[in-house]
Amino acid sequence: MLAGSKRKHKTPEDTSSSSSKRARSSSSQVVPRLLQHHELIQLYSAHQQRNNEPVKMICETILQAKRSVLLKVFNIGSPRILAALAEASNRAPVSVHYQMGPFSKHCTEGNVQFRPRRGCSLLHRKTLLIDNNIVVTGTANYTEASLEKDVNLTAKIFSEHLYRWAFRHDRGEVRVGSQQVSYYSLSQIRRDLCVKAILEANGIVLRERTCEGILHTKVCCIDSSTLIIGSVNWSRGGLTLNLEEFLIINPLTETQLECYNELWAYIETNSRLMTKELIQLHEKRKKSITDPKQTSSSTQDEENASTSAEQQ
């Protein structure tokens, strides 16, 4: 059944894949868009034409909760999201697991259970679970800057089966409408099974952001059909140390591909090609930072900001 086609029930449903029912191989064609119905997988970013109010979407999703709200996030500080959590906690259990924050008057309102991360590994996920059938996940922390200023991508997915995988932090594959979604939790799967992405100097075009804010996306689109999206940075620390998760979605719908292309167009417009000279300049700055005698206060501030960005 195509995503967004007519259903007898109001609540979106999907069927999980099994060993006896393997999904067909990925197609290079996107799924056609049916305009009269909403899709079961929706992409949000402040830097695209449609679905460009991620904070509003998150707040509305929280306020629609009737049974439960579970949020696991690296950093939370958005006053609007905290207010929505407080209001929702008056009618349903609300639990927030976090690494950083929150520091707001809204923390004392309602009946929200705030649980700071205790342990060596960073809780780096950015996942909201609602009413056993809605998963909101992606690359953005739950701060105003991350969701509205920085370059991020957030997916809202209607799926009971995906909810169960994300709730248990287990690996699984599900069908969401006509799309295949694979879920991976880096706290459970063997780290040595993670695919290592290696960029060689020849044939790879690198770009450096020039816009204000942080280029915070951790997404990859392959052949305009497959999307990889999640909390994990493609670095040694992200793939080996933190509590992370990511999704692989295939094939993309026309609407999803348009959203991604609009975000990519924004990134291209607000970035520059990495030349040999720029790479040498970065290496020079890096070396000066490692030498205390050559490190200025402004350079140190830049390095601290870079380190903070890597942890997000």
Q: What is the pLDDT of residue 37?
A: 58
Please tell me the distance from the alpha carbon of residue 291 to that of residue 64, in angstroms, as a whole number.
53
Is residue 312 located within the same domain as residue 220?
A: no
Q: Please report the pLDDT score of residue 249 as a whole number.
A: 98
Same domain, 194 and 280: no
Segment among 48-52, 103-107, 195-199, 306-310 with least mean pLDDT: 195-199
pLDDT tens profile 164-203: 999 998 888 999 999 999 999 987 444 444 433 334 445 5
Q: Does residue 224 sit within a domain?
A: yes
Using alpha carbons only, give the angle 60, 64, 68 rounded to the nearest 5 degrees.
Answer: 120
31 pLDDT band, cuts 50/70/90, is low
Query: Same domain for 309 and 183?
Result: no
Task: Answer yes or no: do 230 and 305 share one domain.
Answer: no
Whether residue 308 is predicted with pLDDT greater than 50 in this model: the reply is no
Residue 8 belongs to a domain: no
pLDDT at 182: 96
Residue 6 domain flag: no
- Do 293 and 163 share a structural domain? no
Instruction: Classify 264 as helix, strand or coil.
Output: helix
- The answer on 257 and 229 residing in a single domain is yes
pLDDT of 27: 42
pLDDT at 30: 62
Q: Which of 121-125, 205-209, 220-224, 262-266 has the lowest mean pLDDT?
A: 205-209
Question: Stretch 247-271: mean pLDDT, rounded?
Answer: 93
Our count of domains for the chain comes to 2
* Residue 56 located in a structural domain: yes
Range of the domain at 301: 276-312
In a domain, 4, yes or no: no
Confidence of residue 312 (pLDDT cuts 50, 70, 90): low
pLDDT band at 21 (very low <50, low <70, confident <90, very high): very low
Q: Identify whether 1 is part of a domain.
A: no
Q: What is the pLDDT of residue 205?
A: 65
Burial class, 53, CB count within 10 angstroms (exposed 0-12 / middle 13-18 / buried 19+): middle
What's the rounded mean pLDDT across residues 116-126?
90
Could you tell me if 145 and 283 lie in one domain?
Answer: no
Q: Mapping DSSP to helix (H, G, I), strand (E, B) and coil, where does residue 115 land?
A: strand
pLDDT of the residue at 79: 94
Is the pLDDT assigned to residue 49 strictly greater than 70? yes
Residue 23 lies in a domain: yes
Residue 206 lies in a domain: yes
* Rounded mean pLDDT, 98-115: 84
Are 205 and 62 in a shared domain?
yes
| pLDDT band of 71, cuts 50, 70, 90 | very high
- What CATH code is carried by the domain that includes residue 109? 3.30.870.10
Q: What pTM was computed for the model? A: 0.74
Residue 108 has what pLDDT?
A: 76
Q: Do 109 and 194 belong to one domain?
A: yes
Beta strand pairing status for 15-16 and 245-250? unpaired
